[in-house]
Amino acid sequence: MRLGNIILFVALCSFTAYYIYEPIPEEIEERWKLMLTNSFFRGLSHLADFSELVGLTDYMGVMYVITLAEKVVPLSDEHVKVTEEKFDGVEVVVYQPKQRGGDTELRRAVIYLHGGGWCLGSSRMSPYDLLARKMVTDLNAVVLSVEYRLAPAHHFPVPYEDVYCVVKHFLQKGVLAQYSVDPGRIAVSGDSAGGNLAAAVSQQLQKDPGQQVQFKAQALLYPVLQALDLNTPSYQQNQDMPILPRTLMVRFWSEYFTSDKALFRAMMANTHNNPESSSLLKFVNWSAFLPETYHRKYNYSAPAVVQGVAGQAVGIDGPSQSFADPRASPLLVPDTALRSLPKAYILTCEYDVLRDDGIMYVTRLRAAGVEVTHEHYDTGFHGALMFTVWPTDFLIGRRMTDNYVEWLKENL
Ligand SMILES: *[C@@H]1O[C@H](CO)[C@@H](O)[C@H](O)[C@H]1NC(C)=O
Ligand SMILES: *[C@@H]1O[C@H](CO)[C@@H](O)[C@H](O)[C@H]1NC(C)=O
C-alpha cells in the first residue's frame, strides 16, 4: 500500500469511528449496537437537512425512508387472520385470532396507534406487525392497527380525528358484535406519538355525551403529552440521546401544526408560549409534578411568554397556536377532566426527552384518583419497543414488550 492510501484509510476509519461514537451513558445495555443504530438515524437526519436546504425534498420526506425500510404486507398466518379495512374512511389493519371450532367466547380488543412523531411510521411496519400478532396470540384479542394520515401533508387535527373516527366506529355495539368483542374489555394504546393520540382520544371519549361503550384501559408507551414546556429536566438531560434528540422532537411537534419554520425556531428556544397558552403552564409545572429526584438538579423557571404582537411577528398565530389544544397536549386539562379516565399503564424511560411528560401524567392521574401502573426503565431509551427485529434487536425492547403485554393480560 502506498503511504497516500494508508493515510486515506486511517482518515476514513477515524471519521467513521468519530461519526459512530457518541457519549452514551455506561449503564445503557448494548451501547455499541445503539451507537451503530443511531449513526444510521443521524446520517439520515443530516441527509434530510441537506436535502431540505438545497430544496430537493422536505426533511420529513427523507426521514420517511425509515418507515419504508421496515414496511411489510401484513398477511394471515396459522394463528392470526389479517384483513385491511376502512372504518369510516380511515385505513385499519385488523388482526383477529383464528376461530377455533365452536368457540363463541367474546374477545378483548386493543386499538393500537403507532409512533413516529405524527409524521413517520405506519401500522404496516414489521415491529408493529409483530407486536399486533403477539397481542392476538397472548391475549386472544382483536387488534386494530390504525393507519391514520400523517403530517406534514395532514396537519393537526387530521391524525387525531382519523383515530377518533376509528374509535367511534368500532365502539358501536353492532360492530363489536361483528368481531366478537366484549364491550367491557377494550383498550387503547400506542407508543410515542401514538401514546399521545391514545391519551387524547381517551379524554375525548369520556366527554362524549352519547357514548355508551367506554375503554377499560389505556396503555401509553413513552408518550408525548405536552408542547408547552420543551425544556423539562428530561429534555435538558437527554437532548442528544438516541433515537430521539430534542431537535427531532421539536421538529415533530412543530410539523404537527405547521410547515412554517417560525414555530420550530420558537419551540427550539422554548419561547413559543403566548398569553393564552401561558395560563395552562400550571398543568405542566415540573417543579410541582415530578418527584424530587428528577428535578433536584434543575431550577424551575417557567417558559418565556411572548406577548401578542411579538408572537404574531414570529408567526406563532393561527393554526400554530393549536399546541395548547388538549387534543394535542393531553396534559393541559384540569383534574376534573382526568377523574373518570380508564385505568392506565404508563411506560417511561430514563434516557428519553419525553420521560417527564409521562411522569407528570402519572402524578396528575393519580392525584385525580385514576389507577395507574407506572413502569420506569432506568436504562431505557426512547423507541426501544421498535427494536425487536434483527439486526437492530435490543434485549430491553424485548423486555418492555413482554411486560407491557403482561399488564394487558392482567388488566384488560
Ligand atoms: C410551579 O410550582 C412551584 C412550586 O412547586 C411554584 O412555586 C411555581 O409558582 C409554579 N409555577 C407555575 C408557572 O405554575
Ligand atoms: C440552581 O440554583 C442554585 C441556587 O441559586 C445554584 O447554586 C445552582 O447552580 C442552580 N443550578 C442550575 C442547574 O442552574
Residue 230: closest CA among 365, 329, 118: 329
pLDDT in tens, 149-193: 999 999 999 999 999 999 999 999 999 999 999 999 999 999 999
Q: Is residue 26 part of a domain?
A: no
Which H or E element spans position 112?
A: strand 107-113
Nearest atom in ligand 2 to 297's CA: 13
Hey, what's the cell of 393? 434487536
The CATH number that applies at residue 387 is 3.40.50.1820
pLDDT in tens, 342-396: 999 999 999 999 999 999 999 999 999 999 999 999 999 999 999 988 888 999 9
- Respond yes or no: is residue 382 known to be catalytic: yes
pLDDT in tens, 77-101: 999 999 999 999 999 999 999 976 5
Which of 162, 229, 352, 356 is an active site residue?
Answer: 352
Confidence category of residue 317, pLDDT binned at 50, 70, 90:
low
Q: Is residue 283 part of a domain?
A: no
**Angular region, 30: left φ>0, alpha ψ -120 to 50, beta rest:** left
pLDDT in tens, 232-286: 999 999 999 999 999 999 999 999 999 999 999 999 999 999 998 999 999 999 9
Nearest atom in ligand 2 to 298's CA: 13
Residue 113 β-bridge partners:
190
Confidence category of residue 148, pLDDT binned at 50, 70, 90:
very high
- Respond yes or no: is residue 352 known to be catalytic: yes
245 vs 242: CA distance, rounded Å: 6
Q: Is residue 196 part of a domain?
A: yes
CA 283 to ligand 1 centroid distance, Å: 10
DSSP of 314-362, one letter per residue? TT--GGGGGGGSTTT-TT-S-GGGTTTPPEEEEEEEEE-TTHHHHHHHH
Position of cell 374477545?
107
Please tell me the number of the ligand nearest to residue 281's CA.
Answer: 1
Position of cell 389544544?
325
Q: State how many domains the chain has.
A: 1
Which domain, by its residues, includes 85? Answer: 66-99+107-227+335-411
